[in-house]
Amino acid sequence: MSKAISKSQLKVITKAINKHYPSSYADSSWDNTGLLIDCSKNENVTTEVKKPLVLLTVDLTSSVAQEAIERDCNVILAYHPFIFPSWKNLNPSRNSQHDSAIKLIQQGISVYCPHTAVDAAKDGVNDWLSHGLVAHERTMIASSESIESIKDKPINGEDSTEVGYGRLVKLASPLTLKQVIKNVKNSLGIDHLQVASHYEPANHSIKTIALCAGSGSGVFRSLREDVDLYYTGELSHHEILKYKEMGKSVIICNHSNTERGYLREQMCHILKSEGVDCIVSENDKDPLNVV
């Protein structure tokens, strides 16, 4: 039986998503966001699903697509673009994503991808990362301002202190790098991360942090202020070396580890408050393991 919902039902869901993560915030110069698969039906040709169910995931892998089918979901909200880069044809025998797309369409499951809109939004993933820096500490965040887009201009004319693809965090009082590492592990729910620093973590005082979920490379290049620590999911070898040689510390956690917890701890609750019934994928995991 098709899991397709009516156009009006899908509109309610996408309206709730855009309320908190406006599509205008996404970086359209390269990102592929929005409703990437629309399987909704006209009201006069389908029986409305009583309560549409949305599955939240960072990556829409083949196992997540199968999970959506087995858990009777009607919509998938995939943080990362599912169609990226844009496809010119479908060949399921060579590309598992193509195979998943065909299966989802056959099942009537729509797919929405917000990506950089979630990065930029107030109370989005980067603000969540900011709060994780000082979890359970007496130290408070003195200020947190957005780092502008790669284009180095306000997003859609919004207040540049609240909307941007990264965050510049200033602590009210310093923490040691050792304590920041502990807080990051706790907030992300991971056992291991990578650190580059000239200093012993117990001795390096941290007051200012530049952070960016996923890959911080382009965002950090637009930073105009001096910082003690760069915190992100991934950077290139040469970027890490450059920051270390400058006397800065770097924390790297693997790309999607900086994003996944936000879906569970924030996004799911935000959407439920808007009346959207949603669950978080059990099969969505970072592709890299420490062995």
Residues at the binding site are 80, 119, 255, 259
Our CA dihedral for 154, 158, 162, 163, rounded to 10 degrees, sits at: -60
Residues in the chain: 291
Identity of residue 189: G
Cα 163 to Cα 122, 153, 166, 174, 188, distances in angstroms = 6, 11, 9, 25, 22
Which residue(s) pair with 168 in the sheet?
A: 145, 210
Q: Which residues are annotated as a binding site for a divalent metal cation?
A: 80, 119, 255, 259
| Phi, psi of 251, deg, nearest 5 | -120, 125
β-sheet with 110-113: strand ranges across: 34-37, 110-113, 75-78, 53-57, 277-280
Residue in 291, 185, 280 with CA at minimum distance from that of residue 231: 185
Give the integer Cα–Cα distance in Å for 264 and 258. Answer: 12
Residue in 200, 206, 219, 201 with CA at minimum distance from that of residue 258: 219
